[in-house]
């Protein structure tokens, strides 16, 4: 199932940013998403965004997304 990536226009500086929220289209259509906090990476303002504020984009295929940096890898001890 393809996922949607949720973007918003910052209410403070007006620049578009990726909220890092992903969900499938069905969940987005059914969800209320009344008020969520998102921190703008451009100006650092944290504001609330509702469903109407979101722009949906198709999420990139998994292979194009680099894994998020994690802590020390848990390597199995042999």
Q: Nearest 5°: phi and psi at 57?
A: -130, 150
Tokens read off for 13: 């500086």
Among 15, 48, 42, 16, CA closest to 6: 16
Binding span for Zn ion by CB under 5 A among 10-18, 20-28, 29-37, 65-73: 10-18
Smallest gap from residue 6 Cβ to Zn ion (A):
16
Smallest gap from residue 45 Cβ to Zn ion (A):
5
How many CA atoms, within 13 angstroms, populate the side-chain half-sphere of residue 71? 1
Question: Does residue 42 interact with Zn ion by CB under 5 A?
Answer: yes
Question: Does residue 13 interact with Zn ion by CB under 5 A?
Answer: yes
Question: Does residue 18 interact with Zn ion by CB under 5 A?
Answer: no
Smallest gap from residue 40 Cβ to Zn ion (A):
3
How many CA atoms, within 13 angstroms, populate the side-chain half-sphere of residue 37? 4
Where on the chain is the footprint of Zn ion (CB under 5 A)? Answer: 10, 12-13, 40, 42-43
């Amino acid at each position: 199932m393809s996922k949607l990536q949720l973007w918003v226009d910052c209410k403070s500086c007006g620049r578009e940013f990726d909220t890092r929220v992903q969900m499938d289209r069905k969940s987005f259509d059914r969800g209320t998403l009344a008020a969520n906090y998102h921190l703008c990476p451009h100006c650092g303002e944290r504001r609330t965004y509702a469903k109407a504020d979101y722009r949906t984009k198709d999420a990139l295929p998994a292979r194009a997304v680099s894994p998020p940096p994690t802590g020390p890898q848990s390597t199995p001890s042999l």
